[in-house]
Amino acid sequence: MDGIRERAVLVVVVVFVCIISLFHVGFAAPYPSYVYDFWHQPVPAPDAYLPVRAVSGRDLGIGDFSDAQDLAVGRDGTIYIADTGNNRLVLLDASFSLVRVISEFDRDGAPDRLSAPSGIFVTGDGEVYIGRCRWVTTYLGSLQRAGRL
C-alpha cells in the first residue's frame, strides 16, 4: 500500500510541475543580441541588458538626436548624452526627464560652442570630461560648480 501511495504522490508532483511549467513567464529582449567576431560578422550572444525604456530627442522636446555617440551617468543619477551631430550635451535626470541642453558656454569671458562631442566621462566628484572637443575638458566641470553653465 505504501508503494501505491508513493507513486500517487510522485504522479501528483510531476503533474503539478508540468502545469507550472506551462505558465512559466520568461523575460526576453525584443530584439536579437549579438557581438562581432574577428571578421566583423555578427554572432548571436546572450542578452546582457534588457531595455526598460526608450527615450528620443523628440520625446524630450529638443528635436532628434544626431549621431549620439556616448553617454555617462553621474553618481547623482544625472544622465549625460554626447549628441555629437548636434554639437551638444543633453542632461537628463534619473527619471529620464530633460534637465538641460548644453551647446554653448562662457570660456574666459568669451562665448564658445561645443564641437562634435563624441565621448563623455563623469568622475565621482562630478567633473565632466568630453572627448574630441576643441576646448579643455576641465572647463565644463569648473563651470558647472560655478553655476555658469
pTM reported for the whole predicted model: 0.63
Cα–Cα distance between 44 and 51 in angstroms, integer?
Answer: 18
Residue with the bigger pLDDT between 104 and 43: it is 43
Of 8-22, 24-38, 45-59, 127-141, where does the model show the most confidence?
45-59
CA-to-CA distance for 24 and 4, rounded, in angstroms? 30
Mean confidence (pLDDT) of the chain: 79
Is the pLDDT at 72 greater than 90, yes or no?
yes
Task: Rank 8-12, 22-26, 48-52, 88-92 by mean pLDDT and report only the highest.
Answer: 88-92
Dihedral angle of Cα 60, 28, 35, 53, to the nearest 10 degrees: 10
Domains of the chain in start order, with CATH, are 2-33+40-44 (no CATH), 57-146 (2.40.10.500)
- Residue among 129, 39, 44 at smallest CA distance from 89: 129
